[in-house]
Structures are given as C-alpha cells and as structure tokens.
C-alpha cells in the first residue's frame, strides 16, 4: 500500500508499481534511500513513483512513523528525484538488450 495515497497496487505481483524506501545509518544519522532490489534489511515504506504521493508523505511527516526511526530530516526534492530516478532505472533495465549480429564471413 502506498504511504502517500494509501491505495493498493493494482498490478499482479508484490508491489509491482511501488518503490520501496528504507532508512539506513549514515555518518550524521539516519538517511533515506531507495531500495532498488526491494530486499534491503529493515523496515521499509512503499510509495508510488508520483510527485503527488511523495509530497503527501513529506507534508504529513509520515516517514519517521512508517520507518520507526527518529531524527530523520527529509529533503522533499531529493526524495522525489530518488523515487522518480529509481523507476527510470527499472524501465531501462527491463528493456530488451540490443544484440549485435554476427557479421563474419562464412
């Protein structure tokens, strides 16, 4: 379920159109990162890769409660860029690989 709009994913498969974010320990405290593999350890939160959902989460200050981590400061622009960038990386990874033809002479 998306933390922003609170809607469930309609696609088949576990959270197919949702992006998972987690809090990891950084040098100056907890840092929010996008879990590209959807398997990092720890509590995660799921978001749609839409600006509206991310801005709603930031406005509600829902991440500290969802991740159960105190002291998180959220950069809204950085979070939007990370979430939107993660979906573009997934799209690029799912495109078919371009294979060169064998041009050698028989």
HSE (side-chain half, CA atoms, 13 Å) at 82 = 19
Residue 32 lies in a domain: yes
For residue 45, pLDDT beyond 80: yes
Query: What's the structural domain count of the chain?
Result: 1
Residue 48 lies in a domain: yes
**Averaged pLDDT of the chain:** 76
CATH classification at residue 19:
3.30.1230.10
Look at residue 85 in the predicted model and tell me its pLDDT: 74
Residue showing tokens 């405290």? 29
pLDDT tens, residue by residue, 63-89: 888 999 887 777 777 787 877 776 554
Q: Which domain holds residue 63?
A: 1-72
Residue 84 lies in a domain: no
Residue 67 lies in a domain: yes
C-alpha to C-alpha distance for 58 and 77, rounded to whole angstroms: 10
C-alpha to C-alpha distance for 86 and 83, rounded to whole angstroms: 5
Q: Per DSSP, what are the bridge partners of residue 29? A: 26
């Amino acid at each position: 379920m998306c933390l922003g709009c609170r809607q469930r994913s309609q696609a088949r498969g576990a959270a197919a159109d949702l992006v998972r974010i987690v809090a990891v320990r950084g040098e100056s405290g907890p840092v929010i990162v996008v879990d590209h593999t959807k398997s990092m350890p720890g509590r995660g939160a799921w978001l749609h890769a839409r600006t509206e959902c991310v801005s709603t989460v930031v406005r509600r200050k829902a991440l500290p409660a969802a991740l159960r981590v105190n002291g998180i400061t959220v950069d809204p622009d950085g979070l939007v860029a990370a979430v939107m960038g993660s979906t573009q990386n997934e799209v690029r990874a799912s495109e078919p690989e371009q294979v060169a033809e064998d041009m050698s002479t028989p």
